[in-house]
Each structure stands twice: as C-alpha cells, then as structure tokens.
Structure 1
Amino acid sequence: MVAAGGNGLLFPILGFASCVVFIYMSFSDLSLSYHHESELSFVTRNGTQFMVDGKILYVNGWNSYWLMDHAVDEYSRYRIGSMLQAGAKMGLTVCRTWAFNDGDYNALQLSPGRFDERVFKALDHVIAEARKHGVRLLLSLVNNLQAYGGKTQYVKWAWQDGVGLSSSNDSFFFDPSIRRYFKNYVLTLLTRKNTITGIEYRNDPIIFGWELINEPRCMSDPSGDTLQDWLDEMSAFVKSIDNKHLLTVGLEGFYGPKSPKRLTVNPEFWAATLGADFIRNSEIANVDFASVHIYPDHWFHVQEFEEKLNFLSKWMLSHIEDGDNELKKPVMFTEYGLSNLNKDFEQSQRDRFYKTILDTIYKSAKRNGSGGGALVWQFLIEGMEEFNDDFGMVPWQRAATYKLFTKQSCRLTKLPGSVLQNKNLKELCSKRP
C-alpha cells in the first residue's frame, strides 16, 4: 500500500519535473540564442574609418523613417520585416529610422516622462527584426521639424506645465526645463530593455549609432552659440549613459560664420544664417562622425539638373575634405534625394544623381578617405503610397536603380581591408564581375 501510494505520487512529481526541465531548457536555448546574437560586434571608429572587428566598414544604406510607427499596429507590422529583408538582400548594411514620436498619433512619448508601452514594444520589434536580418540601425532621437512632434512639441509641453521661458521653438535648445525633458527621454530610451531580445538598447550592437537631432537649426541665434552649447551638453549626456555606440549630430551640412573659407560652398547665403555650422558642430569631442544631407531641389529654385549635379560634386568633396583634414572623422551622407516634382524630372536623372553620390563615396573609400557612406531617402514597400513623398521609391520596381545600389554594396565590400558585414553579400557579389 505504502509502495503503491509512493509510486502514485512519484509519477506526477516526475512529470512535473520533466515539464520544468523542458521549459527551462527551451528558455535556456532562447537565452543562449540571444546571447550568441549579442556577440555581434559594435561599430567603432578609428580616425576617419568605421571599424568592425578590426576591419573597415563602408556604409551603403537607406532611410525608412516610418518603421516604429508601422510596427505599432498588427495590420502594418509585416512591413518592417519585409523592408529590412529587402534591404539586406541588396547588400545594404545600415537603415536610418526615427526612435521618437512625441505627442503625435501613435506617440512613443505621450508627455514628458510618460511613455506608451505599446509603441515602445513596436520599437523593440524594429530592433529585433534588424537583428534577424543583419541590418544595423542609425536611430534619431528628436526632430527639428514638426513632424512626429519635434522640438515644437517639447516647447508646448513646457508651456502646458507653466515652466516655459519662451514660445519660440528655439527655446528647445536653451530652456533648462526642456533640456531636462529631453535628457529624461534619452535616459529612458537608451536604458530600455528590449522585451523581445532581452538586451538593453545601449548594449545592442545591431544599433549602428545615435543621431541627436534631425536637421537642427536655431535661427534665433545665427552665431551658432546656442546650438553649439546644446550639442556639447547633449552629446556628453548621451556618452555618459552609453559609450559603446557611435554618435552623430544629424546636420544638413551647412557652413556657418565660424567657417568663413567654406561659405562659398553653401547653396545660397541663407544657409550660413541658420545657427548650424558643419565643422564647428562636428568637431565636438563626443561626436564620432559627421552627418550631411543633400537636397539641391529644396536649396535651389532656379537651377537646372546639370547645375545641381555640379553642386552635388562640390558639396560632397568639400565635406569629405573636411573629414580628412579638419575633423579627422568619418563623414556620412545620411540623407540624399532628387525630387520627382521637378518640371523636367525623368527617372534617368535620379539614377545619374544617385550614381554621382555612390561613385564619390567609392572613390573616397578606395583611397581610405573619410567618405564613410551614404543613406538614400527613402525606401518603402508596395502599398505605402500615402506615406511617400517626392523622394521615395520602392527600390526593386526599377531595375536600373536596384542595380546601382547592389553594385555599390559589392564594390565597397571588395575593397582591401573591408568587412563582409552582410551575410547576403557573398552570394550577391559572386554573381557580379
């Protein structure tokens, strides 16, 4: 009786123990899998070069600013994996996207210090998908423009809280209360533990780096001192939390009054009055690489296409020369595009525009120059027409354009000392001469 009773009790215990062991082993395997993935190396900098595991990383990539926003809802979430997988198949290594949405629809930050966990989980998903497809992310932290809240929303919050010093959008840069709001946001974001991978953002090497602010301008202070002070403080703050990732500003690349010899490179005289200064802003010690945008359609109103191409070459070469000789840092052209709203627009013009940019990067890379890479604005997938602008495209819908980007991926990878960063590159480039 005792023996029978003992066996009757023993079998359920053994069954329960087996379940516990199975569950433990399953989660242990998952943990090991993520631990293995986390052994991916961080991108670092050695002088004017991006480095991974002692080899040079030249960047060929793109912008899809919309990833977090579209990851919130189940019906659109598939677009994230589809876009990242498509980019990876093209041999692209970096995607730039927004890691902010302040007070807008699907806001990540609802009000200062208040976050929507549903949207944070969407950003977790974006980062996890990037790991899955081997595409690194350049994550931008706030917008100078009003889209997705931007500095305008921070100023509104300060007024609503009764602490705002000024109604000017530029008070974002000098109001101490708004600076505290932004620092709290940065701290929350960088120390966020991804609910899918279990890795804190600041410890995740799939993140290429952080961008302080998209296209900063402080027009109320053309001397540039106000913006410079903000960049000094915020770059040091980011590095105090996370010294593993690279950091850039997010500049358009305009030269300011502290760079008198370069003012003639600017598109027009107004570019020196915006409170930003490419060299001065980029030489801050905590800024690891310089960022530049290329939009002659927005900057000129009377130029013909050939004139825009001439400007484009001078613009890029000037900034690469600054990276080589003044900054001693990599220069990344983090946005570039040609508008399809131009009255004389033809798709072949866009291909020539892209080719000029990609060729300039390749020539710099061949001589170990500071031209670290370029990110086209912007890629989408089919069915996203309402989110498009006059620069966007589905890259695989035009064979000539698609070929430009895959060719660039391959020739950069074949340079001496270059790292084979994308697992698709070996197969992709074996098909090319």
Structure 2
Amino acid sequence: MKLLTLALALTLTLTGRDISEAAPHHGHDSAGYVKVAEDGKGFTRNGEPYLIRGANYWQGMNLGADECSGGDRHRLEKEMKLLVNMGINNLRVMASVEGPDDQPVRIRPSLMYAPGEYNEGVFQGLDYLLDAMGRHGLTAVMTLNNYWQWSGGFAQYVAWIDKNQTAYPFPSENEGWDEFTKYSARFYNDTEIYEEAQSMWRKHIETVISRRNTINGKIYRDDPVIMSWQLANEPQEGPLSWFEETSAFIKDLAPNHLVSAGLESKLDQYDFNRAHTPKDIDYTTCHLWVENWEIYDPSNESSIEDAMTYADDYVHSRAQWAAELNKPIVMEEFGMARDAWIKPGDEDFKYDPETPTAHKDRYYKGIFDNIVTLAKKGQFSGSNFWAYAGLGRATDYPNQYGMVWVADPPHEKRGWYSVYDKDTTVKVIEDYNAQLKALEEK
C-alpha cells in the first residue's frame, strides 16, 4: 500500500498536481458542487445561480480512452474547446457500458465486459473525460445504467442472470420492441431475479463512485465536476421502491452530489411523480422525441407545426408537474432529424451531414425560448440537447471496434440526431446559452 501511495504521489508530482488538492477527504466543504437552491427552484454552484447549458455527449468516455481501446483524446480535447465556445457548461455522459463485446448494435468496447470485470482502458477514458471537463469548467451528469440495449443496460444484467439466455432480444427498426421492453423491465420487475440483479448493479455503482481518477488522483465521490449520479437512461415505469432504494444507496455513497432518475416523463403525472417524489431524487427530468413518438414526420414540410405545438405544451406541462413537487426540472434530451422534407422520397437524405437543418433550428429555438421564459420565473433549470457529434461525421470510417463516434448510438442510423460542429444549429444553441448565462448574472 505504501508503494502504491508513493507511486501515485510521484505521478501527480510529475504532472504538476498537488496530491493534497487532487484527493480531498470525503465530507470536505461544498465548494464547487452543484446544489439545489434552498427554495427548490433551481441550482446553485459556489453560492451563485447555475442554469444547465448542456449537451448529451454519451461517447465521451470512449473518446477519452487510449487508442488501443478505441479512443481519440486529441479529438476530445478539440471538442471540449468547441463546447465551451458554444457556452456549454454541462455534459450528460455514460458511466456504464455492459458487454460482452461480441454483441451487435451496442457500444464497443464496453466498460464492464462481464459482471465485476472491467476494461481498464475504457475506465481510464472516463477518468480522462472528467479531468478534461474539470479543466474546461464543465460539470457532468453520470448515467449509471440504461433501459435500452445500445449500452448493454438492464437487459444485459438480465441476460447475465438468465443462464438460458445467450443474448437478449434485439429489436429491429420497426418490430420486436414489446418483447425487448418486457425483457429489459425484468431488471426491476421480476421478483425471481430482482435481488441478484440489483446486487450486481450496486457493486458497479460502488466501483464507479469510489474510483480514484488515474489522471488527477481525485476520488469520484469527492469530485465537484460530477453534478449528478443518474440511476438510468429512461427507466420505463420502474417501481417506486426501486427509485427510493437506489437513490438512497447512491446518496449514502456520494452525499456531496445530486441524484437524478433519468426519466423521459413521456407518460402521465402519476408516472412522473413515482420517479421524482423520493427524497433522494434531487431534481426532475424530461425527454422529448417528436419523431420517435410519431408527432413529427421529417418528410412532411408542414409537420413542423405539429412538433412546435406539441413541444410548447410538453415543456409547460412538465414544468408545472415539477413545480408541484418543488424540485428543479431539466429537459435533458430532445432532438430532430435534418430536413428530409426537401427530398421526401430519399430516406437517406435526412442522415446526410450536408442536408440543411431549417426545421431542427426552428424546433430548437422554440424549445429554448420556452425554457428561457420559464427560467426567468424560476420554473425551469436548463437543458441538454441530443446530441453533440462535434468533429465526427456519419460518413467517417469505423475504428478497429466498428464504432463511428457520432451522437447517434450504435443501434440507430448514423446522423439521425447528431449536431455537428459546422451545423447552423450551433448558432441557435450559442444564442440560447448566452441568454441563460445572462440570467445567471442578474
């Protein structure tokens, strides 16, 4: 142990870091941590208002890995600067990817390729990402699981326990989803496997929260770069007891950090309250997907009007639900395809990086305008658009693991919801972020 301590101290000395700063003791003061405001109407950081000017950047952990593990740190560093230039202050990222790595339509390489077995190269990618975010003044929402198959998620835990299931169901583009969702929900609905599944997952949660960053020496639970630990991406209709017990478990491990549910809040207010009422769920979330929910047709030019009307009602209704719980709300996912209505007979047109984004730009602005209006009243706390592809392109050649790091998960067609560094959408995002920043400074 003494040799390990000496080695860490030497490493930090060589990189110009003070180990007394890099690894603070658990339970130190709250400087730098994002907190819920005392009146429940928003967030603060260092005693000042903190509005979420965010993006989804789920691929950040994998980009932060070394080249042998499929990463690209040079690109990640460039994208950090681009994000800061856009006014971004928060990234929602994955802190969990389950293997095995021979399964299709999922992130490869995985973080945990077998129960309790980790790819250290990928884990160091998460270390590198958090360190880079700290250097650039960003905070992180750390997603600890996934209802969907593209990162392994709930279904992979079920598959590990169900010895007769060699691979969980993979829904095709338009069929098989009912079968898959029932299978995935066994993670917290099947009494026969519940204890084993939760125990296995809690070991992962504890491993991540207690990890010491190999880049800067900070223990994750003590790192103010982490704003929130999120139970899962879009846990569909999970039991109240699961939200209560898991959020309490996380809060006990990381009392300086916030905890969020990751709910899309698509259903009714009862579903919203079930996920967000527990005392250790610090704030509420919602996601908005007008094409996936068959409200918007990208090949129909007039369909944008339906999308705008729906989004307006959605933002206001979810804000009201959050107000009734006296908790902040963040719109942490929303997106729109490129302008397929220009060539309605060409299905691939909406995925082409060169296709314009007139509808997307108008849609983003409409959502942003609603959020700014509500934020002025203390009724909304920001957003994370889906998602930032940065320097990547749907047309890029896959790496050695078959991955193309854009903003669309590997089960979706590349380019569907990606925001590239050269898109006109970037200016819409910049203007919105400037408005939120101005509100913080009032």
1:57, 1:363 → 2: CA distance?
16
In angstroms, what is the RMSD of aligned CA positions?
Answer: 2.7
User: Which whole-Å CA distance do the structure 1 matches of 2:12 and 2:262 have between them?
Assistant: 44
Kindly provide the amino acid, as one letter, of the partner of residue 374 in structure 1: S
Could you say which residue in structure 2 is the equivalent of 1:173?
A: 188
Q: 8 Å contact 2:265–2:287 — kept in the other structure?
A: yes
Would you say 1:154 and 2:157 are equivalent positions?
yes
| In 1: Cα distance, 2:195 partner to 2:141 partner | 27
- Aligned residue among 62, 69, 91 for 2:87: 91
Kept in 2: contact 1:211–1:250 (CA 8 A): yes
Shift of residue 168, structure 1, vs aligned partner: 3.1
Provide the rounded CA distance (Å) in 1 between the counterparts of 2:14 and 2:440. Answer: 41
| Matching of residue 365 in structure 1 with residue 378 in structure 2 | no
Who is 2:358 aligned against?
348
What displacement does 1:72 show? 2.3
Give TM-score, length-normalised by structure 1.
0.78
Tell me the CA shift for residue 416 of structure 1: 5.8
**Counterpart check, 1:339 vs 2:365:** no
Name 1:62's counterpart in structure 2: 55
Residue 25 of structure 1 and its aligned partner are, at CA, apart by 10
Structure 1 pair 240/161, CA: closer, same or farther in 2 (3 Å)?
farther
Whether the 8 Å contact between 2:65 and 2:128 is mirrored in structure 1 is no
Residue of structure 2 equivalent to 1:194 = 213
Counting aligned pairs with the same residue, the percent is 26
Alignment of 1:205-354 (within 5 A): 205-217=224-236, 224=237, 227-256=239-268, 259=270, 277-300=271-294, 304-324=303-323, 326-340=324-338, 342-343=340-341, 347-354=357-364
Correspondence for 1:409: 433
Q: Is the 8 A contact 2:266 2:288 kept in 1?
A: no
Q: Output one character per residue of 1:40-81: Cα deviation in whole Å (capped at 9) or x when no partner.
A: 510000212101122111111111111112222426222222
Q: 1:365 to 1:169 in 2, by over 3 A?
A: closer
Distance in 2 of aligned mates of 1:158 and 1:352: 46
**Residue 408 to residue 34, structure 1, CA distance change in 2 (3 Å):** farther
Once the two structures are superposed, what CA deviation does each residue of 1:82-110 show, in whole Å capped at 9, x if it has no partner?
Answer: 22221111111001111111014311112
The match for 2:400 is: none
Query: Is this contact kept in 2: 1:72–1:106, CA < 8 A?
Result: no
Gaps of 5+ in 2: 1-9, 102-107, 166-181, 298-302, 343-349, 351-355, 395-403, 407-413
State how far apart, in whole Å, the 1-side matches of 2:19 and 2:151 are: 37
Shift of 1:181: 0.5
Give me the TM-score of the superposition, normalised by structure 2.
0.76
Unpaired runs of 5+ residues, structure 1, are 1-22, 218-223, 260-276, 419-433
**Contact 2:266-2:287 within 8 A present in 1 as well:** no
Kindly state the Cα deviation for residue 24 of structure 1 after the two structures are TM-superposed. 10
Change (3 A) 1:183 1:63: same
Could you say which residue in structure 1 is the equivalent of 2:132?
129
Match of 1:271 in 2: none
Deviation at 1:112, TM superposition (A): 1.5
* Residue 415 of structure 2 is aligned to residue 389 of structure 1: yes
- d(CA) in 2 for partners of 1:323, 1:97: 23
Which structure's residues are more often helix, by fraction?
1
Amino acid of the residue matched to residue 368 of structure 2? L
1:135 is displaced (CA, Å) by: 1.3
Paired residue type of 2:276: S
